[in-house]
């Protein structure tokens, strides 16, 4: 039995404990289960365009289930996977509602991204690409996505609204949705301060219950039936796969997912002591492969890029060290499938307030950006600033890359110019060409 456990999950008798791994898995699930409410909530903006929200719930749970199982059995690491925050916002608000492309187009981009990730991981090129991107730019992208997500959350809660004079302004705080959002923010924020496990999910549940007498929560007819994913399963659009916009969208998904995954894996692995003396993560290629396969599977199921979750740190803190922890997380997502009636009844005020708090977590990398070095600080700041202001993650990244390369070239210092990697130089040229073409047209 011990040999089987080691072969399947990397579990070693005498080193690891089954009870500890189970507790760690449940803990990780509780901290990331909010995605079952938040992801369908974000995708509900596309419901009128033929993407049913109940189907997105099922796709979300199944993508998390499949991705985490691959992590459990192949990578044998204690990480949970699910459709990533920020990447889902880019899918809905930038690619579909901003650029005007169909959700089928976006799913096709994610499928291509997943296949590219598999190839890059097999050839170890993915590690080389990650190493070529400046550290401060990676941190700025994560922080910028956090700001963007928080802005979307405030907008969905009616706390930030359109204003003819100032573009945006403070909404009516007497509005029922805004009131419930504020209550949710305070309760969930307090739970986070108190370091309560599963604070985000607990906050969502409390908010949903408070929303009942306020008329904002409507469970309707409760059913344990699992919504069908047939309307969104393998719905791809191949007619524009060679277009410029498809290239830009694929590359944006590619880089956001890459930075998010690498940052999460390195950070959580260091916390768990799963790194060597040089700080390299043990079995990193298998972890990246699990992430790549999960992304490809998620596209087929009908949801945005599936990635490794930083909330896995909660399970690691409880002692989770093997793939058995990930198996428990996957089982929890499977058990959640019949409860779509509950997750889909959660009001926008609850998920919106949680988005703000998720934004706080993602923006934590700002503190480690070197703002004393202007050739690093300016591109990083532009990247963060333009994501929420342009309502576009891709514009923030593209302008940030262009700014980085141009400022380093204009320094006329050999040591500064050397910081520009070939990858960054090529991306800058491509992004400048994109804006020039758009301006001409």
178-208 per-position pLDDT tens digit: 999 999 999 999 999 998 877 888 888 899 8
Q: What is the mean pLDDT of the chain?
A: 86
85-131 per-position pLDDT tens digit: 878 988 998 889 988 999 999 999 999 999 998 998 888 776 666 66
27-36 per-position pLDDT tens digit: 788 778 889 9
What distances in angstroms separate CA 419 from CA 158, 402, 424, one per listed residue? 43, 14, 10
151-160 per-position pLDDT tens digit: 888 988 899 9
Other beta carbons less than 10 A from residue 412's beta carbon: 8
CB distance 36 to 62 below 8 Å: no
What distances in angstroms separate CA 145 from CA 84, 280, 359, one per listed residue? 11, 26, 7
Average pLDDT over residues 401-412: 92
Confidence of residue 295 (pLDDT cuts 50, 70, 90): very high
Q: What is the DSSP letter of 309?
A: -
* Strand bridging mode 160-163 / 306-308: unpaired
How many whole angstroms separate alpha carbon 280 and alpha carbon 286? 13
Cα 49 from chain centroid? 23
Average pLDDT over residues 385-393: 85
255-289 per-position pLDDT tens digit: 777 766 776 776 677 666 776 665 567 778 888 89
305-355 per-position pLDDT tens digit: 998 887 787 788 678 889 899 999 999 999 999 988 887 788 888 888 888
Average pLDDT over residues 389-402: 84
This prediction's pTM: 0.75
């Amino acid at each position: 039995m011990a040999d089987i456990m080691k072969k399947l999950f990397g579990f070693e008798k005498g080193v690891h404990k089954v009870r500890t791994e189970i507790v760690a898995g449940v803990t990780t699930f509780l901290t990331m289960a909010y995605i079952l409410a938040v992801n369908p909530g974000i995708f509900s903006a596309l419901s009128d365009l033929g993407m049913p929200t109940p189907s997105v719930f099922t796709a979300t749970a199944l993508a998390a289930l499949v991705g985490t199982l691959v992590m459990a059995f192949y990578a044998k690491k204690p990480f949970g996977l699910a459709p990533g925050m920020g990447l889902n916002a880019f899918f809905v608000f930038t690619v579909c509602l901003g650029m005007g492309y169909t959700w089928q187009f976006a799913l096709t981009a994610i499928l291509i991204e997943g296949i590219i990730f598999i190839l890059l991981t097999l050839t170890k090129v993915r590690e080389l690409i990650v190493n070529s991107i400046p550290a401060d730019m990676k941190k700025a992208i994560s922080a910028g996505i956090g700001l963007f997500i928080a802005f979307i959350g405030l907008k969905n809660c009616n706390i930030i609204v359109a204003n003819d004079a100032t573009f945006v302004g403070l909404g009516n705080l007497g509005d029922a949705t805004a009131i419930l959002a504020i209550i949710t923010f305070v309760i969930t924020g307090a739970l986070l301060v108190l370091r309560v496990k599963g604070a985000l999910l607990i906050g969502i549940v409390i908010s949903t219950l408070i929303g009942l007498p306020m008329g904002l929560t409507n469970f309707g007819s409760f059913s344990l039936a699992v919504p069908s994913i047939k309307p969104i399963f393998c719905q791809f659009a191949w007619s524009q796969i060679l277009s410029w916009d498809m290239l830009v969208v694929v590359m944006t998904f590619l880089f956001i997912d890459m930075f998010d995954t690498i940052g999460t894996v390195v950070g959580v692995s260091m916390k768990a002591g799963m790194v060597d003396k040089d700080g390299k993560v043990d079995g990193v290629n298998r972890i990246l492969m699990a992430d790549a396969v999960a992304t490809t599977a998620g596209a087929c199921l009908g949801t945005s890029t599936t990635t490794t979750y930083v909330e896995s740190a909660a399970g690691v803190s409880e002692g989770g060290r093997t793939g058995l922890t990930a198996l428990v997380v996957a089982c929890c997502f499977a058990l959640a499938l019949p409860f779509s009636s509950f997750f889909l009844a959660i009001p926008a005020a609850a998920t919106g307030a949680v988005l703000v708090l998720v934004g706080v977590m993602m923006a934590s990398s700002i503190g480690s950006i070197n703002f004393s070095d202007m050739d690093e600080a300016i591109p990083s700041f532009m990247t963060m600033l333009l994501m929420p202001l342009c309502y576009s993650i891709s514009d923030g990244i593209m302008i940030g890359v262009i700014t980085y390369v141009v400022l380093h070239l204009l320094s006329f210092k050999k040591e500064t110019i050397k910081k520009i990697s070939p990858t960054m130089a090529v991306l800058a040229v491509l992004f400048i060409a994109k804006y020039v073409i758009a301006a001409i047209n």
